[in-house]
Amino acid sequence: MRLSDRKLLFGITGSIASYKAVYIVRHLVKNEGAQIQVVMTKAATEFVRPVVFETVTGSPVYVEMFGEVGFGTVHIDLARESDLLVICPATANIIAKIACGIADDLLSSVALVKGSNMVIAPAMNDQMYLNPITQGNISKLKRLGCVVVECEEGDLACGTTGIGRLAEEKKIILAILRKLREDERLKGKKVVVTAGPTREYIDDIRFISNRSTGKMGFAIAEEALIKGAEVVLISGPNSLEKIPYVNYIEVETAEEMLEELLEHRDADYLFMVSAVEDLVPDRVEGKIKK
């Protein structure tokens, strides 16, 4: 498991998207082996009860600065004992607090101690998100070194459609993994990976191919991404879920794959794991009759 030696502090704020954080936390605990401590704002507890996160993580949830679990300087201890602070979902309010250095509750106090070692996933109404003040605060956090997993477009809780939805679970998880697992050997390097099968057509309907799924190439591409590389994935036909943040190029024939490889010959590393067809038949126009 990729995070078995890491401790994450997860901040939950008052958003309708708070329930989605349950699935992200559960994945990180169950599939990545992470140890997670959750801090919730009072508003967040109106959307999801703390007992839900306590059940998923096996650890008590912190809400108040004083009088709950532990004693002393709780905000300092929580920050020091974690490798990364993830705030998901992050409302416009908490983003503004962090950008301005305000520490008036437990989560904002922890964030002030943690500095830029954060992954922030905003979620809010589109007008709040597009407000120049919010955009300025997000830009400031990026300049300071925080990772911001930008909102996506879609249906919003207020009944409108626009940008403001919490990013997809896969994007947030990859951002967390990348923040924790960057490797200096690959950070900033360009990695090209080939994957999947190719097809060589006999006529306009039939083709020669193989049963390659592309899974190995996709796994290598994802791992290179997590290590901090800029990844180009050139793949033949497949049914796999696309990897966020990866430059995905879909091809069909061996010739098309070669052309794309030559376009990216400036790569620092090349992993060729595609199952390229050895035979190229003379293609017949139309369909060969029985």
Residue pLDDT, tens place only, 119-145: 999 999 999 999 999 999 999 999 999
- When divided into structural domains, the chain yields a total of 2
Residue numbers annotated as active site: 158
State whether 145 and 213 are in the same domain.
Answer: no
CATH number, residue 29: 3.40.50.1950
- The answer to the question of residue 289 being in a domain is no
**Residue 33 has which token pair?**
């082996």
State whether 145 and 73 are in the same domain.
Answer: yes
State whether 42 and 147 are in the same domain.
Answer: yes
- The answer to the question of residue 1 being in a domain is no
Cα dist from 21 to 1, 105, 112, 184, whole Å: 20, 20, 22, 30
Q: Exposed, middle or buried, 159 (CB in 10 Å: 0-12/13-18/19+)? A: exposed
Q: Determine the structural domain holding residue 144 and report its residue range.
A: 7-181
- The answer to the question of residue 284 being in a domain is no
- The answer to the question of residue 288 being in a domain is no
State whether 34 and 133 are in the same domain.
Answer: yes
Which one is predicted more confidently, 69 or 254?
254
Structure confidence at residue 67 (pLDDT): 61
- The answer to the question of residue 153 being in a domain is yes
State whether 122 and 235 are in the same domain.
Answer: no
State whether 42 and 171 are in the same domain.
Answer: yes
- The answer to the question of residue 225 being in a domain is yes
State the Cα–Cα distance between residues 259 and 208, nearest whole angstrom.
Answer: 20
CATH number, residue 241: 3.40.50.10300
State whether 99 and 80 are in the same domain.
Answer: yes
Against a cut of 0.85, is the pTM above it? Answer: yes
- The answer to the question of residue 282 being in a domain is no
- Residue 70: pLDDT over 60: no
Question: Can you point out the beta strands (E) in the chain?
Answer: 7-12, 35-40, 84-90, 118-122, 147-148, 152-155, 161-165, 190-195, 200-201, 207-208, 230-235, 247-250, 269-272
Nearest Cα to 150, choosing from 162, 166, 174, 134?
Answer: 166
State whether 205 and 172 are in the same domain.
Answer: no
State whether 163 and 210 are in the same domain.
Answer: no
State whether 34 and 173 are in the same domain.
Answer: yes
Mean pLDDT of 44-66: 94
Structure confidence at residue 72 (pLDDT): 60
Confidence of residue 160 (pLDDT cuts 50, 70, 90): confident
165-205 confidence digits (pLDDT tens):
999 999 999 999 999 998 889 999 999 999 999 999 998 99
- Residue 8: pLDDT over 80: yes
226-267 confidence digits (pLDDT tens):
999 999 999 999 999 999 999 999 999 999 999 999 999 999
State whether 230 and 194 are in the same domain.
Answer: yes
State the Cα–Cα distance between residues 282 and 286, nearest whole angstrom.
Answer: 13
- The answer to the question of residue 281 being in a domain is no
**Residue 16 has which token pair?**
């309708």
